[in-house]
Amino acid sequence: MKKQIILGIALVLILGAIGSFVYYDYHYAPKRTLTFLPKKTLKVAIQPFKGTDKGSVLEVKKGIERYYGLQVTILPDIPLPAHAKNTHILKKYHLKLPVRYRADSLIAYLWDTKPPAYDYIIGLTNQDISTTKPKKPKWLYTDWGIFGLGYRPGPTCIVSTYRLYRYANLAQMRTRLRKIAIHELGHNLNLKHCPHSNCVMQSARESMKTIDTEPESLCDSCKNIVKRKFIVNFPEEQMGKL
């Protein structure tokens, strides 16, 4: 009898351990580093804007290096460009909203000032960033706060930490931050929003829940799109699966 109880407890512990490992692996850990990116020639840098905390900068570096398998350089902080403030939008539409920075102006600014040595620049700010969505009501979507924005394709993107602390401890906040950085760099690499729930390229659909439930990795179709960009002889039969 005693033996059966011990065996039962052992079984529960083993199944629990397997279950939590599978859960962790799916939800938090990147599936696998992308091994096919040209590590030596593809140069990525983080451009922190003044006020961004060092921990967030290092977390983005870690997330990009771990998932994309690339080396990331951290550039010295620069001030946010004043012209990127939403002031003109608020005036034009008579909106009473807090000061935010227009994400499209920031990625354009990062492109204009990009050191030629880098292929991709990930801007990082602790300020709220916004964009105009083609949706109604206008007063709500003319200056809509977002997590990040990136050219598709293009050399620059921006990520904001401002909205990531909601209902989250530091570890959860940092997981969100890594996923958003991986997502925005994915846009730079020509990835669109993806319909698959097992993919970091899903549209956030205006909800943090999407980010919290998605894995920190690309689905196979998105991986294939990136492969096609970097592997010249990517097999023809794989392209059909896109």
Question: Rule CB under 5 A: which residues touch Zn ion?
Answer: 194, 196, 199, 201, 219, 222
Smaller CB separation from Zn ion, 46 or 222: 222
CB of 178 to Zn ion, least distance (A): 15
Strands 144-146 vs 129-131: parallel, antiparallel or unpaired? antiparallel
Closest CB to Zn ion among residues 99, 238: 238
Q: State the DSSP string of 179-214.
A: HHHHHHHHHHTT------TT-TTS--TT-HHHHHHS
Q: Whole-angstrom Cα distance, residue 65 to residue 62?
A: 5
Shortest separation between residue 221's beta carbon and Zn ion, angstroms = 5
Torsion of CA 220, 213, 208, 222, to 10 degrees: 0
Measured from the CB atom, is 124 or 201 closer to Zn ion?
201
Tell me the two tokens of residue 48: 């922190």
Minimal distance in Å, beta carbon 227 to Zn ion? 13
Residues labelled as active-site residues:
184
Q: Find the angle CA(217)-CA(165)-CA(157) to the nearest 5 degrees.
A: 50
Whether the CA torsion 58, 59, 60, 63 is positive or negative: it is positive
48 or 148: CB nearest Zn ion: 148
Residue 11 beta carbon to Zn ion: minimum distance, rounded to whole angstroms? 37
